[in-house]
Amino acid sequence: MGVDVGMRTLFGQPKITERPNPAQHATETDLSETERQLAGRLMRINHAGEVAAQGLYQGQALTARLPHIRQQMERAALEENDHLDWCEKRARELGTHVSILNPLWYTGSAAIGALAGLAGDKWSLGFVAETEKQVVKHLEEHLTQLPEHDDKSRAILEQMKEDESHHATVALEAGGAELPEPVKKLMGLTSKIMTRTAFWW
């Protein structure tokens, strides 16, 4: 099952929720070539981040010891698929491709998620919560970098920000522990490498 989810995430059509695409009601505005390129790159980074989020949630689910914890996290994992879908559509609308390194982001995150899971549920949930918090900060940055009038991309990132913040709360309420500061720093560093790389590839 884990392999199936991985293959769908990378190459197929992942299972999404009933929620509509937030960009659906935003109007497409005229973007200059430079703006379109920048927005496309930012959406590619966000897509790569969502691929990594899938890996993380899968790794977490593989090692979760308590079945009710797995269930609680399932909805969050499904919402990550919405994000994946919205970001990919938007990146393509902006005329760009998704990151060619997605398989690497996915397997890397799944491995990290599973490792965190081996340390116990409270640590793997803490890891999910911290990841989500860092993603919220990252999305805030992207919202300031996106072309002002790219309403479609904005609508997607706004909804994602709201979801990620909710996912962090869910993981904490399920029993996630606060991670040690050096681990948080290391996570920030890893995501920087990923976002810088996905900007180009």
Residues 37-66 close enough to bind Fe ion by CB under 5 A: 50, 53
Closer residue to Fe ion (CB): 76 or 94: 76
Name every residue whose Cβ is closer than 8 Å to that of residue 71 and which is 6 or more positions away in sequence: none
Phi-psi region of 25 (alpha: psi -120 to 50; beta: other; left: phi over 0): alpha
Residues 121-150 close enough to bind Fe ion by CB under 5 A: 132
Any contact of residue 70 with Fe ion (CB under 5 A)? no
Among 45, 80, 87, 99, binds Fe ion (CB under 5 A): 80
Q: Which stretch, 6-14, 37-45, 87-95, 157-165, contacts Fe ion (CB under 5 A)?
A: 157-165
Answer for the pair 146, 14: CB distance below 8 angstroms, yes or no: no
Tell me how far apart the alpha carbons of residues 66 and 82 are, in angstroms, rounded to a whole number.
26
What string marks each residue from 81 to 120 as x (binds Fe ion by CB under 5 A) or -? --x-------------------------------------
Among 47, 90, 133, 167, binds Fe ion (CB under 5 A): 167
Amino acid at 64: A
Answer for the pair 79, 23: CB distance below 8 angstroms, yes or no: no
Closer residue to Fe ion (CB): 48 or 114: 48
Compute how many other C-beta atoms are within 10 angstroms of the C-beta atom of residue 95: 12
Give the binding site for Fe ion (CB under 5 A): 50, 53, 80, 83, 132, 164, 167
